[in-house]
Homo-oligomer: A and B are copies of this chain.
């Protein structure tokens, strides 16, 4: 465990953002290597990077001699490695609900607003992203009405909250009227006060462009 931990990420990538917050919460120090999603046609497509991550996606985490990909799989690994503070509830029923909330975002929304998909959609990409985020947020709001306390699932921060944070940014970026989702936004406003969330924030990373940097 003494090996250096390295995170390959991009400031605005949702999945990198989730993992940065998880690492901060669990107080795991890491070296951050920026992979620029747009420069040189997208550095994630380079042969060198695809040796680490064959999908050409972010993030990749090097830890304990392993090369880990897929943000939810990475968060599950971090949870098993550093169980405190927990990102999953102590009971199986709670874990199932948190994993379902996480997947609504991870597989239900995010893949459809992914950069490579929007590039393929072309001119109507904002309308496309707005449509799928709105569809997902309606479902998520209905689910959170049943599960949320201070956070997505009760009063303990979980993996679902780490998925929610960049997704709310995505919603705002693509013009979704977030006022229609009062539970999502109440939880979000709680979350963004937390030190680990601030540490993982897209607008405070080494690769955040100057003009987008949080003050």
Give chain A's interface residues, CB within 8 Å of chain B: 50, 54-57, 64, 66, 68-70, 72-74, 76-77, 80-81, 92-93, 95-97, 99-100, 102-104, 106-108, 110-112, 117, 120, 128, 131, 135-136, 138-140, 142-143
A64 to chain B, nearest CB (A): 7
Which residues does chain B contribute within 8 Å of A106, judged by CB atoms? 103, 107
- Nearest to A117 among chain B residues (CB) is B112
Residue of B74, B99, B103, B111 touching A112 (CB-CB under 8 A): B111
A81 pairs with B92, CB closer than 8 A = yes
3 closest cross-chain pairs (CB), A and B: A73-B99, A54-B139, A107-B107
B73 pairs with A103, CB closer than 8 A = yes
Evaluate whether A139 and B55 lie within 8 angstroms (CB atoms) in the complex, with A95-B76, A100-B69 already known. Answer: yes
A85 to chain B, nearest CB (A): 18
A142 pairs with B96, CB closer than 8 A = no
Q: How far is the CA of A162 from the CA of B50 in the complex (A)?
A: 25
Most buried by B among A64, A74, A93: A93
Q: How far is the CA of A64 from the CA of B73 in the complex (A)?
A: 26
B99 pairs with A72, CB closer than 8 A = yes
Q: How far is the CA of A103 from the CA of B138 in the complex (A)?
A: 23
Q: How far is the CA of A53 from the CA of B136 in the complex (A)?
A: 12
Evaluate whether A93 and B107 lie within 8 angstroms (CB atoms) in the complex, with A54-B142, A99-B73, A138-B54 already known. Answer: no
Which residues does chain B contribute within 8 Å of A95, judged by CB atoms? 76-77, 80
Question: Can you show 9 pairs from A to B with CB atoms below 8 A apart?
Answer: A50-B142, A55-B136, A57-B108, A69-B100, A69-B104, A72-B72, A72-B103, A77-B95, A107-B107
Which residues does chain B contribute within 8 Å of A97, judged by CB atoms? 73
